[in-house]
């Protein structure tokens, strides 16, 4: 029986998505290595952690050709400028030292670098790490683990703040990572991180947040349990309006600080939402199946009507949609994306051609299937001309619907 990566309890239930390729493996035609893993989500009844049962080895996902450059989105640039400034406002003492885990192309740490604050980014994907260095961000190319934490403390002294975004959800060995924080943080040090929020995933049935890289789907209940096993206490939570709904968590060593009222409020909200009950995940699975039926029916109808459909945004999320529902170029002609490294590739598993954004402008479809729905505001504003010319948007979260 597979068990929880945090507390070793047997899982109470599963959702099975079937065999999946690596979500970010955008490869030129003919280069599909045929790799698949069995994507199942388990719920732990003991520590409430929702997690992938099986995950590909990290080196398969994070490497010198990592496809995701954080700074591709201007909304995320603004978001991380604000995140950085919130953290800077809380730093105490002189000459503080900040470590970011998963610093990618330096989207957040660049603001610390610009302000002359001592900082270090830990980033295993060498291509994005190099982009950060080019911007003056000190970056160590490594997977963060307990040993890296120990080395940082030895080389730089105590760390005042560990910051991270959209990366703890990627790390299967979080218990060891938290031990690393315990080794390198100062007595008053803080951990501030944010990740897609389980409450939003369940509320919106945003099942496409589930893919190989996302091993954990955090809630206030599970984050508090996970850190408490290593001497940390959750003292604040703040919802964030990015990536379809995220939560920012602040943790300190136990007894350092009184938790804010938001922590208790969210614990209650999550129990009311039944995030701590196994049956919730069974009904989530049924909702995903219904979305799959509706989406396939809608796309088949468009095809019968002679309407052309193209995907907008070759997101990692799109891989879950394409594979769990078996979408093919027959139904979705191409996917346009602004990321140069994704151009002239096939979506993972060799399904649908990914083309430069210019193609969408020069050869617009009748309907755009919005895979990058988390950037909807930014994209819809940018594509006003498409909508004005009669173009429609097809969304599938929280349910299948057409705009306008």
Task: Establish if 112 lies at the interface with ligand SAH (CB under 6 A).
Answer: no
Q: Which residue, 146 or 339, is less far from ligand TMP as judged by CB?
A: 339
- In the complex, the smallest distance separating the C-beta of residue 337 from ligand TMP, rounded to whole angstroms, is 4
HEC assignment per residue over the chain: CCECCCCCCECCEEEEEEEECCCCCCECCCCCCCCCEEEEEEECCCCCCEEECCCCCHHHHCCCCCCCCHHHCHHHHHHHHHHHHHHHHHCCCCCCEEEEECCCCCCCHHHHHHCCCEEEEECCCHHHHHHHHHCCCCEECCCCCHHHHHHHHHHHCCEEEEEEECCHHHCCCHHHHHHHHHHHEEEEEEEEEEEEEHHHHHHHCCHHHCCCCCCEEECHHHHHHHHHCCCEEEEEEEEECCCCCEEEEEEEECCCCCCCHHHHHHHHHHHHCCCCCCHHHHHHHHHHHHHHHHHHHHHHHHHHCCCCEEEECCCHHHHHHHHHHCCCCCCCCCEEECCHHHCCEECCCCCCEEEEHHHHHHCCCCEEEECCHHHHHHHHHHCHHHHHCCCEEEECCCCCEEEC
Task: Establish if 62 lies at the interface with ligand SAH (CB under 6 A).
Answer: yes
Q: In this chain, which stretch among 107-115, 129-137, 204-212, 376-384 interacts with ligand TMP, using CB under 6 A?
A: 376-384
Residue from 5, 110, 170, 375 in contact with ligand SAH (CB under 6 A)? 170
Closest CA to 355 of 373, 372, 375, 338: 338
Task: Establish if 104 lies at the interface with ligand TMP (CB under 6 A).
Answer: no
104 binds, among ligand SAH, ligand TMP, Zn ion, none (CB under 5 to 8 A by kind): ligand SAH
Task: Establish if 351 lies at the interface with ligand SAH (CB under 6 A).
Answer: no
205 binds, among ligand SAH, Zn ion, ligand TMP, none (CB under 5 to 8 A by kind): none
Q: Which of residues 344-373 bind ligand TMP (CB under 6 A)?
A: 357, 372
199 binds, among Zn ion, ligand SAH, ligand TMP, none (CB under 5 to 8 A by kind): none
What x-and-dash track marks residues 32-71 binding ligand TMP by CB under 6 A? ----------------------------------------
Q: In this chain, which stretch among 141-149, 270-278, 285-293, 377-385 interacts with ligand TMP, using CB under 6 A?
A: 377-385
Residue from 40, 51, 55, 73 in contact with ligand TMP (CB under 6 A)? 73
Q: In this chain, which stretch among 49-57, 168-176, 187-195, 331-339 interacts with ligand TMP, using CB under 6 A?
A: 331-339
Residue from 170, 214, 323, 375 in contact with ligand TMP (CB under 6 A)? 375
Task: Establish if 123 lies at the interface with ligand SAH (CB under 6 A).
Answer: yes
Q: Which of residues 265-324 bind ligand TMP (CB under 6 A)?
A: 313-317
Summarize as ranges the residues that interact with Zn ion (CB under 5 A).
Answer: 4, 6-7, 9, 44, 46-47, 49
Contact set with ligand SAH (CB under 6 A): 58, 62, 66, 68, 70, 101-102, 104, 107, 122-125, 128, 143-144, 165-167, 170-171
């Amino acid at each position: 029986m597979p068990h929880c990566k945090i507390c070793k309890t047997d899982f109470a239930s599963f959702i099975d998505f079937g065999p999946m390729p690596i979500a970010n493996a955008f490869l030129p035609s003919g280069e599909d290595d045929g790799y698949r893993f069995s994507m199942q989500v388990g719920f732990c009844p003991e520590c409430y952690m929702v997690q992938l049962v099986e995950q590909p080895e990290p080196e398969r996902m994070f490497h010198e050709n990592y496809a995701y450059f954080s700074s591709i989105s201007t909304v995320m640039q603004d978001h991380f400028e604000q995140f950085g400034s919130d953290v800077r406002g809380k730093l105490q003492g002189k000459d503080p030292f900040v470590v970011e885990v998963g610093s990618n192309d330096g989207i957040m740490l660049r603001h610390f670098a610009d302000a002359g604050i001592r900082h270090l980014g830990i980033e295993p994907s060498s291509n994005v790490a190099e982009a950060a260095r080019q911007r003056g961000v000190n970056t160590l190319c490594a997977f963060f683990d307990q040993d890296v934490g120990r080395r940082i403390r030895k080389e730089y002294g105590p760390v005042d703040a560990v910051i991270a975004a959209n990366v703890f959800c990627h790390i299967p060995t979080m218990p060891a990572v938290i031990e690393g924080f315990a080794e390198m943080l100062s007595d008053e040090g803080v951990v501030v991180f944010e990740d897609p929020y389980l409450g939003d995933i369940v509320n919106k049935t945003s099942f496409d947040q589930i893919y190989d890289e996302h091993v954990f789907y955090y809630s206030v209940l599970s984050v508090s349990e996970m850190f408490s096993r290593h001497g940390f206490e959750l003292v604040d939570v703040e919802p964030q309006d990015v990536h379809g709904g995220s939560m920012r968590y602040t943790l300190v060593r136990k007894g350092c600080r009184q938790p804010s009222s938001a922590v208790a409020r969210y614990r209650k909200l999550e129990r009311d939402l039944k995030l701590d009950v196994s049956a919730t995940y069974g009904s989530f699975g049924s909702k995903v199946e219904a979305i799959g039926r509706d989406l396939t029916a809608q796309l088949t109808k468009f095809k019968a009507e002679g309407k052309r459909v193209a995907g907008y945004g070759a997101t990692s999320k799109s891989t879950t949609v394409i594979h769990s529902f078996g979408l093919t170029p027959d139904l979705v002609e191409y996917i346009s994306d602004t990321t140069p490294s994704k151009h002239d590739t096939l979506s993972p598993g060799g399904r649908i051609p990914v083309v430069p954004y210019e193609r969408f402008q020069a050869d617009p479809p009748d309907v755009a299937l919005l895979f990058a729905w988390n950037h909807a505001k930014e994209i819809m504003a940018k594509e006003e001309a498409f909508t004005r010319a009669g173009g429609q948007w097809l969304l599938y979260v929280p349910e299948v619907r057409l705009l306008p």
